[in-house]
Each structure stands twice: as C-alpha cells, then as structure tokens.
Amino acid sequence: MAGYDTNPFADPVDVNPFQDPSVTQITANSHGGIEEFNPFTESSRLTTNQKTVPVQPVMPSQPAVIQPSIEPSPQAVAMAAQAGLLQQQEELDKKAAEIERKEKEMRNVNINLRQNNWPPLPAKCPIKPCFYQDFSADIPADYQRVCKMLYYLWMFHGFTLFLNLLACLAYFTSNTETGGVDFGLSILWFILFTPCAFVCWYRPIYKAFRTDSSFNFFLFFIIFFCQIIIYIIQAVGIPHWGDSGWILALTMVNTNVAVAVIMMVVASFFTVSAAFSLFLLKRVHSMYRRTGASFQRAQEEFSQGILSNRNVQNAAAGAASSAARGAFQGN
C-alpha cells in the first residue's frame, strides 16, 4: 500500500526549491526583522523625520577656454593719449573763442547802450557829451527821488550863480567905484562853481547810489558840507566877495531900490539853496546808514581803486625800475 501513497506523476528527482536551507534562512531572518519593526515607535519617527537631500545631477564639465591677453604697445598708448589731448585742446580753443566772441558782443552792446548822453548836445556840435546819466537804469527805485532832487539842486545852483552875475552887473552899473570887483568875482564863481559842483558832489552821489560805494558817499558828504558853507557865505553877501547877499543888497536900498530888489532876490535864492542842501544832506545820511556803508569799506574801496589804476601801476613800476637801476649803478 505504500506504493499507492506516492504520486505516480511526480518526478522522482524533483526537489522543492523553497526547502533549500539558504532560502529558508534568508526568509526566516527577513520575517524576524519585519516582525520587530514597529512604525509607531519613537525610533521610527526619528528615522522618518530626517530630511532627504535630493541628488544633484552631475553636469558634464566643459573645458576652460583661456582668452589670450593682448597688451597694447607703449607707442599705441602714447598716440592714444596724444590724440585725446589734442581733442581736448581743440574743444578748449573752441570754447575760448566762443567766450571771447560773446564778451566782444556784450562789450559792444554796453558801449552802445551806455554811450555818454550828458550834457545833451546836438549831434553836429564838435564837443561831445562827457557823462552818462540815466536814473531809471542806474539808480535803484528807492534812491531815484533823492538823486533827482540833488540834480535839480545843482541846476538851481547854476541858475542862482547866473542871477548873481546879473545882480553884480547891476550893482556895478550903479556903483562903478567898488562894484567892479564883485562883478569880476561873480563871473569867476559862475564859471568855476557850476561845473565843479557837478563833478565834485553830484557825480559822487550819483555813483554812490548806483554802485553802493562807501568811498563816494564819504566824498559827497565832505564836499557837500563845504558847499553848504559856501551857500551860507553867499547868502550873507560880504562886500567885495562877488556875492549878491543880504548885506550887499541892504546897502543898495537907499541908493537904487531896483538894484536892491534884484540883489535881495538873489540873496533869497542863496538862502533857499542852503536850506534845501541841509535837508538833502540829512536825507542822504539816513539812506547811507541803511545801506551798511562804513569808513572801513571806504578805505578798502580807495585802496583797491588806487592799486587797480593802470596809471598808478605804471608809475609804481617806473619808480621801482629806476630805484633798482640806481642801486645797481651805485654798486
């Protein structure tokens, strides 16, 4: 019966591969490890929380390309620098020429605009104007009124001197013995004081208002104060001084009333000139204090004007050269 228990179709040489000892050992070890692994334990959490670093693909390395260094030669560098300098020089020359052209144009414009216009003489007259005067262009608006008043005072001063000449002429006709001296001096005062007043005190105050010059302010104050003293002397009318003042006019009341009246009119004109001059002197002084001018600034302007004067520079250079020549010759 033992022969019936075997499989008649089985291969007598057939062996179960899973019964191999090496296979059974491996499966037994793997199964044991699987049974020991618990995903809920602390050690498994630590292992699962570790970050995985992705693997960077390795790029194929490219061969390094070495650029050849080309250094310019010293001659090329020198030529390039010279070309740059020449270009800069040309640009500077062009700019200098342009600036010079503009300066000439501005100079011509200024000459044409600031052409002397005083005294207003006809174009056919051989004597040309000596000064330029334009209140609206030169004088600030705050000073124009006072400057014009000083100009009108100078005109009134010249008119008064002319009337004084006529009054002294009338006095000379009525008193030929002593009137000749007064008449001659009146002519001299008219010829001398009229232009001197314009140049000595009116032009300085015009320049002072135009350029805010401390030196011209001081020059005006000194000379204008002397002018006021002269007005007072002329208004008094001392005999034989060439002035038709109050004293000389009163001496003619008993001799010739008409001449006395003329001389009194001239004396009143001298009095008005003195009073008006005092008023304007006070106005100019108040303006001078607001401008910030000072005696120190006047000294600086005077020294700068002296040093910048071409005639003074030439004289100083000539004196220095002559002194040096004398010292060499003496040695």
Per residue in 15-34, pLDDT (tens digit) is 565 566 665 665 555 544 44
Mean pLDDT score, 175-188:
92
pLDDT of residue 139: 93
Mean pLDDT score, 239-244:
94
Domain, as residue range, for 276: 148-301
Residue 151: is its pLDDT beyond 80?
yes
pLDDT of residue 293: 61
Counting the structural domains of the chain, the total is 1
Q: Could you tell me if residue 311 is inside a domain? A: no
> Among 78-82, 179-183, 273-277, 300-304, which stretch is predicted with the lowest mean pLDDT?
300-304
Q: What pTM was computed for the model?
A: 0.61
pLDDT of residue 240: 92
Mean pLDDT score, 185-208:
96
Mean pLDDT of the chain: 79
For the chain, the three-class secondary structure string (H helix, E strand, C coil) is CHHHHCCCCCCCCCCCHHHCHHHHHHHHHHHHHHHHCCCCCHHHHHHHHCCCCCCCCCCCCCCCCCCCCCCCCHHHHHHHHHHHHHHHHHHHHHHHHHHHHHHHHHHHHHHHHCCCCECCCCCCCCCCCCECCCHHHHCCHHHHHHHHHHHHHHHHHHHHHHHHHHHHHHHHHHCCCCHHHHHHHHHHHHHHHHHHHHHHHHHHHHHHHHHCCHHHHHHHHHHHHHHHHHHHHHHHCCCCCCCCCHHHHHCCCCCCHHHHHHHHHHHHHHHHHHHHHHHHHHHHHHHHHHHCCCHHHHHHHHHHHHHHCHHHHHHHHHHHHHHHHHHHHHC
Q: Could you tell me if residue 21 is inside a domain? A: no
Q: What pLDDT band is residue 44 in, cutting at 50, 70 and 90?
A: very low
Residue 304: is its pLDDT beyond 90?
no
Q: Could you tell me if residue 226 is inside a domain? A: yes
Q: Please give the residue that has the higher pLDDT: either 181 or 125.
A: 181
Q: Please give the residue that has the higher pLDDT: either 189 or 2.
A: 189
Q: What whole-number percentage of the chain has pLDDT above 70?
A: 64
pLDDT of residue 300: 72
Mean pLDDT score, 251-274:
95
Q: Could you tell me if residue 10 is inside a domain? A: no
Residue 213: is its pLDDT beyond 50?
yes
pLDDT of residue 172: 94
Mean pLDDT score, 165-187:
93
pLDDT of residue 312: 47
> Among 23-27, 90-94, 284-288, which stretch is predicted with the lowest mean pLDDT?
23-27
Mean pLDDT score, 103-109:
70
pLDDT of residue 194: 96
Residue 285: is its pLDDT beyond 50?
yes
Q: Could you tell me if residue 265 is inside a domain? A: yes
